Amino acid sequence: MNSPTKNEVLGAIWNSVNSMRGLIEIGEARNLVLGLLVLKKISETEGSSIFNWNEIASKNFDIGISLNEAFYQINQKKPELREWLLHFDFNSDRIGGREIRDTLWKNVMATLSQIDLGKMEKTSPGAICELDIELNEWFANASGLKGSYETPACVINLLSELLDPPNGSTVFDPFCFGGSTIIGASCHVSENKPGIRIKLYGQTPNKNSLATIWLNLLLTNNDHAQIKFGDVIRQPGFTDKTGKLMTFNRILCTIPIGVKNWGEEIAQNDNYFRFTYGIPPRTQGEYGYLQHCIASLAEDGILACVIPPSMLFRERSEGDIRKRMINHDIIEAVIALPNKLYSQTGIALAVLIINRHKPAERKNKILFVNAKNDFLAGRSQNKLRDEDRKKIVTVYRNFEEEDGYSRVCSIDDIAMNGFQLDVSQYIKEKRDIAPSLDLDGAVKDLEKIQNEKSEAYEKMTASLGRLMEYRRMK
């Protein structure tokens, strides 16, 4: 039997979640499905020494009780996982009565049984990582949560390739939501540098995300990672024995956008000396978050972060901060991305690369890349293709100029432009670009809309039926 494709696996997981609609909120459904996938993986790798997935899946009654018992056995045999697997309850009355619960878990387990995680790992070391990253992106889009900014898979791949973590390096995301960024870095290493080991670190400002991140890490064999909870400005999670910030060799992240009250009062008297370039406005914290990242970089560290384009040309106090960074010669590259890569915003974001130890030939220079026009178009979300990422990475690694695409500018040139870093000021915009259309993606989007309309119609019909019944009773 052939291994299912990634799309078939994603389809199976979608069907599992879809069967919970109306019973369980989508965020909770996400963790329950991730928990079951972890359960299945442990069953495949540990055999029947703890529990047997197929035995539970073959039951018709009290399946929720059996699932709870399986997690209890894991917690007893693997106490290091207890903190992350103890909160599951598949037999809760709030899901529904016993018959509803049995039917639900019977169907979900039957669907997930189609996925051979062991075979996926053997076929490709990074297959489960790629699957998990796309799954996180799908859940972020489906939840409709604003401000979470789950970094899309194509951007995670780009950041990982740009950073290319060396052996023994520490990799950090200060703004984790699902853990996809650091998992992506691990995936890049496992697929391109077999035998290389890196250490993963992350911090999340959302307590509800902790369990999700850990389930993703367990599923992708990254349970050695260290994850902390708290706001990085007010509660930096990683400090050394002397109380100073820990530093990391590589940092990849999406800078939180539009956060009000980001922590300006902390910055005024910061114990960690992070805001050496200046303090941004109280209601505009992007440069505050960026300076935390810079302060968390090791002396040989490199940061690749996604930022809103307005950070490249804002004036006043933020313009002063940017000027000091440019004069300090830590900015290595600015890459303009296509619009609509993030489902949560349609604006075209940019990648900023900070390098604390720029090579001699790159000193006092910044590379500008206009990658706005190279993408696969979708109805609601665009994507970077493999060739688009490769083009960006090649230009960055070679630090080379390409007419209409990239340009290397001196700090003197940038000073003449008022220390603005807007890519369009340095590279003439290409015209008459016809992007490829993702027809399959468009069809899937239409199917999703149709399903949502059908579901809404069924709910409305049921509500009208109950109203008519109520009127007849009166």
Position 419 scores a pLDDT of 97
Question: Domain check: are 148 and 109 in the same one?
Answer: no
**94-120 mean pLDDT:** 86
Q: What percentage of the chain's residues is helix, strand, coil (to nearest 5)?
A: 50, 15, 40
The answer, yes or no, to whether residue 462 has pLDDT greater than 70, is: no
Dig out the tokens for 383 from the structure: 């994507």
- Could you tell me which residue, 193 or 322, shows the higher pLDDT? 322
- Could you tell me which residue, 311 or 138, shows the higher pLDDT? 311
CATH code for position 225: 3.40.50.150
Query: Which range of residues forms the domain containing residue 457?
Result: 438-473
Last residue of a domain, one of 74, 105, 123: 123
Q: Residue 213 domain-assigned?
A: yes
The answer, yes or no, to whether residue 433 has pLDDT greater than 50, is: no
State the pLDDT confidence band at 219, using cuts at 50, 70 and 90: confident
Question: Domain check: are 56 and 205 in the same one?
Answer: no
Measured at the alpha carbon of residue 345, what is the angle toward residues 311 and 372, in degrees to the nearest 5?
Answer: 65
**117-139 mean pLDDT:** 74
Question: What is the overall mean pLDDT for the chain?
Answer: 86
With a pLDDT cut of 90, the percent of the chain lying above it is 53
Q: Residue 86 domain-assigned?
A: yes
Question: Domain check: are 295 and 426 in the same one?
Answer: yes
Position 425 scores a pLDDT of 94
Amino acid at 416: M
Q: Residue 110 domain-assigned?
A: yes
**141-160 mean pLDDT:** 75
Question: Domain check: are 31 and 158 in the same one?
Answer: no
Amino acid at 412: D
What region does 350 belong to: left with phi over 0, alpha with psi -120 to 50, or beta?
Answer: beta
Amino acid at 289: Y
Position 206 scores a pLDDT of 85
Helices 6-18 and 98-112 meet at what angle, rounded to 10?
Answer: 180
The answer, yes or no, to whether residue 202 has pLDDT greater than 90, is: yes
State the pLDDT confidence band at 1, using cuts at 50, 70 and 90: very low
Dig out the tokens for 26 from the structure: 């989508």
Question: Domain check: are 258 and 311 in the same one?
Answer: yes
N-term to C-term CA, the chain: 60
Last residue of a domain, one of 123, 150, 167: 123
Q: Residue 324 domain-assigned?
A: yes
Q: For residue 453, give the 3-state DSSP assignment.
A: helix
**Which of 109-118, 363-372, 387-396 has the lowest average pLDDT?**
109-118
Distances from the Cα of 202 to the Cα of 244, 297, 444, angstroms? 17, 14, 33
Helices 26-46 and 98-112 meet at what angle, rounded to 10?
Answer: 60
The answer, yes or no, to whether residue 473 has pLDDT greater than 60, is: no
Last residue of a domain, one of 73, 106, 123: 123
Q: CB within 8 A of 188, min separation 6: which ones?
A: 126, 157, 160, 161, 164, 165
Question: Domain check: are 188 and 109 in the same one?
Answer: no
Question: Domain check: are 459 and 382 in the same one?
Answer: no
| Residue-wise burial string across 294-311, b where 16 or more C-beta atoms lie within 10 A, e elsewhere | bbbbbeebbbbbbbbbeb
Total domain count for the chain?
A: 3
Question: Domain check: are 191 and 237 in the same one?
Answer: yes
Q: Residue 1 domain-assigned?
A: no
DSSP 8-state assignment for residue 123? H
Position 410 scores a pLDDT of 97
**Which of 51-60, 111-120, 203-212, 416-425 has the lowest average pLDDT?**
111-120
Question: Domain check: are 158 and 297 in the same one?
Answer: yes
Distances from the Cα of 335 to the Cα of 102, 173, 349, 350, angstroms? 51, 19, 9, 5
Half-sphere exposure of 264 (CA within 13 A, CB side): 14
Question: Domain check: are 255 and 310 in the same one?
Answer: yes
Check: CB of residue 31 under 8 Å from CB of residue 211.
yes
Question: Domain check: are 412 and 431 in the same one?
Answer: yes
Dig out the tokens for 66 from the structure: 């059996």
Question: Domain check: are 271 and 239 in the same one?
Answer: yes
What are the pLDDT digits (tens) for 327-378?
Answer: 999 999 999 999 999 877 778 899 999 999 999 999 999 999 999 999 999 8
Q: Residue 231 domain-assigned?
A: yes
Position 445 scores a pLDDT of 59
What are the pLDDT digits (tens) for 229-286?
Answer: 999 999 999 999 999 999 999 999 999 988 889 999 999 999 999 999 999 999 999 9
